[in-house]
Amino acid sequence: MIILAATPIGNLGDASQRLIDALENAQVVASEDTRTTQRLLAALGIQNRPRLIALHDHNEKARAAELVELARATDVLLLSDAGMPTISDPGFGVVATAAGAGVAVSVLPGPSAVLAALAVSGLPTDRFTFEGFVPRKAGERRSALSALGAERRTMVFFESPSRLATTL
């Protein structure tokens, strides 16, 4: 089985007991940055040393089939650096490959930057859309934002602090 596991976003106290248990028992962990995962294991006091496999934007297509095959024999815990895998982070390709191969996918919910931003925004929360990261190139950014001009729902975007002023 592939298990998507949410990791803390800036506060180690947000690590769920389910995440800690999964890390203590994992044999295989696919993560966005294995160094970040090693720091998380140490910070949580996890003694287990699972096999760590790097899974990031640049290798996900090549690694997806390998991880799905591993998941036929043992659980594969999939982590991003912070937050939920597949939500503007690697993992979607693995989940899609698993679904196509009939391999089960499960989730350990946890911190969500999207929902946290929405909840504290003071904007309507009954209907919203998540737009992910705004394109970096000016023309693509302008086109993407222009296409959303008539959207009536609250919109949540991800943006780098260094690009925020330009995007706004």
The pLDDT of residue 80 is 93
The pLDDT of residue 10 is 87
CATH number of the domain enclosing 161? 3.30.950.10
86, 101, 136 from 140: Cα distances, Å: 22, 35, 7
The pLDDT of residue 6 is 95
C-beta separation of 50 from 26 below 8 A: yes
The pLDDT of residue 83 is 92
For a pLDDT cut of 70, what percent of the chain falls above it? 100
Give yes or no: residues 145 and 160 share one domain: yes
pTM comes to: 0.86
C-beta separation of 108 from 16 below 8 A: yes
The pLDDT of residue 82 is 93
Question: Is the pLDDT confidence value at 102 over 90?
Answer: yes
Give yes or no: residues 66 and 27 share one domain: yes
Give yes or no: residues 15 and 92 share one domain: yes
Give yes or no: residues 21 and 91 share one domain: yes
Give yes or no: residues 78 and 141 share one domain: no
Mean pLDDT along residues 98-117: 94
For a pLDDT cut of 90, what percent of the chain falls above it? 93
Mean pLDDT along residues 119-136: 94
The model's pLDDT over 54-90, given as tens digits with 9 standing for 90+, comes to 999 999 999 999 999 999 999 999 999 999 999 989 9
Give yes or no: residues 17 and 80 share one domain: yes
Give yes or no: residues 66 and 142 share one domain: no
| Greatest Cα-to-Cα distance within the chain, rounded to the nearest angstrom | 52
The count of domains in the chain is 2
Range of the domain at 65: 2-108
Mean pLDDT along residues 85-97: 95
Mean pLDDT along residues 39-61: 96
CA dist., res. 133 & res. 150, Å (int): 19
The total of other beta-carbon atoms located within 10 Å of residue 124's CB is 11
Question: Is the pLDDT confidence value at 11 over 90?
Answer: yes
SS3 162: coil
